[in-house]
Amino acid sequence: VQLQASGGGLVPAGGSLRLSCVASGMAFKFHALGWFRQAPGEQREGVASISIDGRHTSYAESAKGRFTVARDNDKNTLYLLMNSLKPEDTAVYYCAAVQAAFEYSIFAKEREYAYWGRGTQVTVSS
């Protein structure tokens, strides 16, 4: 199983980025997915998660109203659209996957995920 995140970069506050995570070596459509992030000196935290069918999502309070998680099961790709970025969004962003029994299941906790990508750096300048 491989999860490859991309799309990070340096943006000014108020800007937007779209992160992508391409999965291989797994039955993508049977896995619930999530985005996590880790800022320097901080613990990794959940950002957003999405169910197998893409109809159920969950967001951290810090992400609500600004971030949108989506998936394309035909392309084996997970997305995170981030708008109105703030300096406190600066972190390494990771995608994660876990096989789910139900198409509506979502997982918000780090320990619930089985597979992890290497992360992509997002830096928001003030």
- Residue 31: per-residue pLDDT: 98
- What is the Cα–Cα distance from 79 to 86, expressed in whole angstroms? 19
- Residue 114: per-residue pLDDT: 97
- Residue 12: per-residue pLDDT: 98
What's the mean pLDDT when you consider all of the chain?
A: 97
Residues forming a β-bridge with 115: 97
The amino acid sitting at 21 is C
- Residue 5: per-residue pLDDT: 97
Write the pLDDT tens digit of every residue in 75-91: 999 999 999 999 999 99
> What's phi and psi for 63, nearest 5 deg?
-100, -20
Average pLDDT over residues 8-12: 98
Write the pLDDT tens digit of every residue in 59-74: 999 999 999 999 999 9
* CB count in 10 Å sphere of residue 29: 13
